[in-house]
Each structure stands twice: as structure tokens, then as C-alpha cells.
Amino acid sequence: MASEGIMERVKGYYGKFAETGGLVESCCSIMKLPGSGYAVDEGLYTLDEIFMVPMNALGLSRGCGNPLSFATIQPGDVVVDFGCGSGIDVILAAHKVGSQGKVIGIDVTYQMIEQAKQAVVDAGLPDIDIELLVTDMRKTGLPGNFADVLISNCAINLCQDKNIVLQEAFRILQPGGRIAVSDIVLTKDFDTELQERLRLNWAGCLGGAIAEEDYWQMAKQAGFIDIQIVDRHILTLDELEAIACCPGKEYITDPMEEDFTGLQGKVASIHFTAIKAPLNPDTK
């Protein structure tokens, strides 16, 4: 399927999901938030972080990590969130940058941005500069060389043109800026026919996943240096079955049960950082 067709399909799935206000059953690893009926990512966010985020955003949680936990965001930083969804990481980043900083969340799905705007209002952050934009990760329209940190939580894998996304991330970061990304990658080859079946459900986080080495190569070609793997978790069978159905079984065709046996031990959740090289201090 052509890149634009894939993007339209992903937008359709996640748009319909956002319109529901979220589901109790998540396609990610989950825990029940006491007394809420909502589910959030287990072990990814601390309880302190969870209680900073409004319920409407938690109900739409669809991530595979917590980039805030390793992005080393500082007060006053300018942070961009690629694929911000319902705004969980935008809100948490806003608490870190404070009134002297700025957070920009982008998402290709306007329904998600509307949900994120409401979540920001409900979070009560009037003194922090937060901007939420409906735009494509491949061509954001943001200025170049202006952001300190770029975060992304299980969103780059949904885009076919990952090399272009990484190039755009590099472009908008200022020299010395850094990315902190959680995503899904393939650690081993598997049957081509199985891969094609998974790609029919590109919105599921397995359909667009690529080989881990290819991911690193694209990041290097974009210009990033000092790529550091913070965490790497091989997905269990239960986790594979769950993320293959993102954003929820109501929106996509279930993969065949036997497909997951062929995927065991071959898919990982990765958390990594990388840097845009600072300017040479001798260069004017």
C-alpha cells in the first residue's frame, strides 16, 4: 500500500477511537487505576505521573513506553512530541519545562488533538506555553533548529516513511538537541506472508515495525549521533496479541491466532536517545 493510503487508514482508525473518548480495555500493557475504571500503562508511568493526567487522556492511552523517564527534560526547554495522541506526554513534559519553557504536540488525527486540547485544559496548566497542532510528522511546518528535546511514544512505527520522520526530527532540533523515543522494532526475520498479513492492519503496532538495524541506520542517515538504547524488551505472546490490535479490536481485523506463534521472540519494545551534534565551538 502506498504511503498516503497507509496514513489515511491509520488516521481513520485512531480518529474513530478518539471520538469514543477511549476504551477501558487497552491494547497496551495495562493496570487499572483505582476507582476510575480506566486502564493505563503498567510500569511505564509512576503513580505521581498518572495522577497529573486527566481521565479523558488516560482513557485514550496507546503507548509502548514513557519517554519522559529518560528524556532529561529541563526547566525552560522547548519540547516537541511527535504523535502526541491524547496528550499524556505533552502534559507531563509541561510540568517539567515550567513557565519558561514550551511544549508542542503534533498528531495527524484531528480528533486526537481535540481530545488533547481538552486534557490540557482539564490538567490546569495556564502558565505553561502549550501548542497542539494537527500536522504530519513527515512535514510538520515547524521552524528548524529550535527545539531542545523531541519525544515520541510508539508513533513513528505507524508511519511508512520513517526515514523522513527522523530527518524532520533532526531538522527541527537545535544543535545539541536530543530525541527520546519509545517504539516497536523487529529483532529477527519472519515469514514474508505473515509480514504482509500484519501490514493489512498497519494501525496495529506490528504492521509498520521494521528491523531494528534498519531503524538505527535511518537515524544515523538522518544525522543523529550517540544513539543509546535505554531499554529493550522482547514482547511476550500476550503483548504481541495486544499491540497487533491497536487501537482496539473494534476498529481493525483481528490477526490470525497462529500468526503470533511465529512472532514470539522476534519483536521488541525499544527506548532510545540520540543527539543532533552541537556546533563546533570554533565554527562561527
CATH number at residue 234: 3.40.50.150
Q: How many domains, the chain? A: 1
Q: How do strand 129-134 and strand 39-41 relate by DSSP bridges? A: unpaired
Domain that holds residue 181: 3-276
Rounded alpha-carbon distances, angstroms, from residue 3 to 10, 12, 17? 11, 14, 21
Read off the pTM. 0.89
Q: Does a structural domain hold residue 17? A: yes
pLDDT band at 277 (very low <50, low <70, confident <90, very high): very high
Q: How many other CB atoms are found less than 10 A from the CB of residue 174?
A: 14
Q: What is the pLDDT of residues 156-170, one digit of tens each?
A: 998 889 999 999 999
Q: Does a structural domain hold residue 60? A: yes
Q: Does a structural domain hold residue 281? A: no
> How big is the CA angle at 89 (ends 2 and 236), to the nearest 5 degrees?
65
> How big is the CA angle at 116 (ends 169 and 121), to the nearest 5 degrees?
125
Q: Does a structural domain hold residue 283? A: no
Q: Does a structural domain hold residue 78? A: yes
pLDDT of residue 26 exceeding 90, the answer is no
Q: What average pLDDT does the structure give for the chain?
A: 85
Going by C-alpha positions, the residue among 72, 9, 29, 12 that lies closest to residue 240 is: 29
Identity of the highest mean pLDDT range in 10-19, 86-95, 274-283: 86-95
pLDDT band at 16 (very low <50, low <70, confident <90, very high): confident
Q: Does a structural domain hold residue 39? A: yes
pLDDT of residue 198 exceeding 80, the answer is no
Q: Does a structural domain hold residue 282? A: no
Q: What is the pLDDT of residues 216-227, one digit of tens each?
A: 999 999 999 999
Q: Does a structural domain hold residue 133? A: yes
